[in-house]
Amino acid sequence: MQAILLAGGLGTRLRTVVSDRPKPMALIEGKPFMEYVVHELSRYGIRDIVFAVGYKGSMVEEYFGDGSAYGIKASYAYEEELLGTAGAIKNAGKHIHEDWLFVLNADTFYQLDYRRMLKLRDEKNLDFALVLRRVPDVSRYGRAVLVQDMLVEFNEKTTEPVPGTINGGVYLMHKKLLEEIPAGKVSLENEMIPRWLDRKKSGYRLGGMVNDGYFIDIGVPEDYFRFQEDVRKGVVVW
């Protein structure tokens, strides 16, 4: 299967500790963070990977090359300007030749069984599936809600500090959805998913699953250092 890894962000919050490379290439025990993400995908047979790159993107291509050294097939979609998450997906679409693709943020590491998403897609006849994770306070993020595995709320803001589920940043989508994304800078989370969620207008079926596996986003220094420590301790199994 194919996957797009979104690696085009500037990573400004991490610049105080990682200034010479894109955030997903930050070194963790001698390996770029994104290599851990790639390894996790490869474990589940997702080995045709499109790197959607921007800031210092050539460093990603120089490291992974054609992907053969890492057991994958690698291709690269460069952004001339920041395109947002959906814009980056559309830009990478020229490398997508299968009907279905996974999409992940390259600066997050999330352990899950990708086969569950494929099974859910088939059971619910979905066009788009995403992974949600549980948090103690949804007011910090924006709530996402499933009812019988179907997505009914997404990025809903609340001021109540209550537990719930939020977007985990892992998606499975049909290639036809790429045609719906306008040209230019477009957000998947703030524009496209809410648009597709209106089933009466879009005709699309969106669903998802909750996953409690290990999750980390290395967007801030403390989480970057925590992931390093978790790798050293064996919390993250290589």
CATH number of the domain residue 132 falls in? 3.90.550.10
CA end-to-end span of the chain: 21
What is the predicted pLDDT for the residue at 5? 98
How many domains does the chain divide into?
1
**φ, ψ of residue 85 in degrees (nearest 5):** -65, -50
Averaged pLDDT for residues 20-42:
92
Structural domain including 148 reads 2-232
Residue 237 lies in a domain: no
Q: What percent of the chain has pLDDT over 90?
A: 79
What is the predicted pLDDT for the residue at 66? 98
88-113 pLDDT tens trace:
999 999 999 999 999 999 999 999 99
Residue 180 lies in a domain: yes
How far apart, in Å, are the Cα atoms of 209 and each of 58, 150, 152? 35, 9, 12
Residue 150 lies in a domain: yes
Comparing 187 with 20, the larger pLDDT belongs to: 187
Residue 135 lies in a domain: yes
Distance CA 140, CA 130 (A): 19
Residue 102 lies in a domain: yes
Residue 139 lies in a domain: yes
166-178 pLDDT tens trace:
999 999 999 999 9
Residue 238 lies in a domain: no
Task: Tell me the whole-structure pTM to 2 decimals.
Answer: 0.94
217, with CB counted inside 10 A (0-12, 13-18, 19+), is middle
Q: What is the mean pLDDT of the chain?
A: 93
Residue 6 lies in a domain: yes
